[in-house]
Amino acid sequence: MPPKAKKTVKKEEVNPEDIELVQYEIMAILDPDVTVDQHDKNFVALKKIVTDLGGTISHEEEWGKREFAYTIKKKTHGYYIVMNLEMDPAQMPELNAQFRITNYLVRNLIIKTPTGYTNLTYDWDAEPEVIEKKKPVVKKAPVAKKEVAPEPEPVKEIPTEEVAEVTEKAEKTEEAEATKEVAEKPAEEKVKGGEKQLEKLDEKLEELLSGDDDLNL
């Protein structure tokens, strides 16, 4: 049997008037390491990608070569370009795919803009804002306080007159005590002497009384 013929499915033709176009804004960064002529050719080629997919560019603006905040694909600068367009949203996946394989395109951002959106422009007369980098705060270690020994209290000086007066009083006291001791010593000796004499008299009386009754009177 002969092979069955494949049925071909006809794509429904879409009336361009029935397509609801959407407003987009594209910010693209192009390779900075090229000549001015090459940069112009790259810009034209980028716009051709958009128009080949049915996009209509309503506004375009170059912002010039600017420095990145951080390195992108080993580059520190890039040419900034802004385009506003309207396009069939069904073509957006293909546009992104084309942008990914474009070697002179460093980075891109596509956003959907609302109705009444004001196109993004760059004011070349305005001075660029200088952002001051804050220095990191370094916390210092607390300084150890040295222990200071308390100062000795000053020695109170005694007037010479007071010293002489105290010394004189001390001498008089010592002299009076010495005199008293000398005065009391003979009295004690006299008492002890009298006691010894009495003892001797008692002994004599005992001898006399203990003798014979006949006494020679």
pLDDT along the chain (217 residues), means of 10: 57 67 94 93 95 94 91 91 94 94 94 87 60 58 70 67 68 70 57 68 70 48
Task: Identify the pLDDT of residue 131.
Answer: 41
Q: Is the pTM of this model over 0.75?
A: no
3-state secondary structure of 209: helix
Task: Identify the pLDDT of residue 216.
Answer: 44
What residue type is assigned to position 215 of the chain? Answer: L
Beta-bridge partners for 75: 72
Task: Identify the pLDDT of residue 58.
Answer: 93
**Fold for domain 18-112?**
Alpha-Beta Plaits (3.30.70)
Question: Checking DSSP bridges between strand 75-87 and strand 105-112, what pairing results, if any?
Answer: unpaired
Task: Identify the pLDDT of residue 215.
Answer: 44
Q: Which helix (H) or strand (E) holds 90?
A: none
Domain chopping of the chain, boundaries: 18-112, 159-211
Q: Are 62 and 30 in contact (CB under 8 A)?
A: no
**How far is Cα 130 from Cα 180, in angstroms, rounded to an integer?**
106
**How far is Cα 13 from Cα 180, in angstroms, rounded to an integer?**
152
Task: Identify the pLDDT of residue 173.
Answer: 74
Strand order in the sheet with 56-72: 56-72, 75-87, 22-30, 105-112
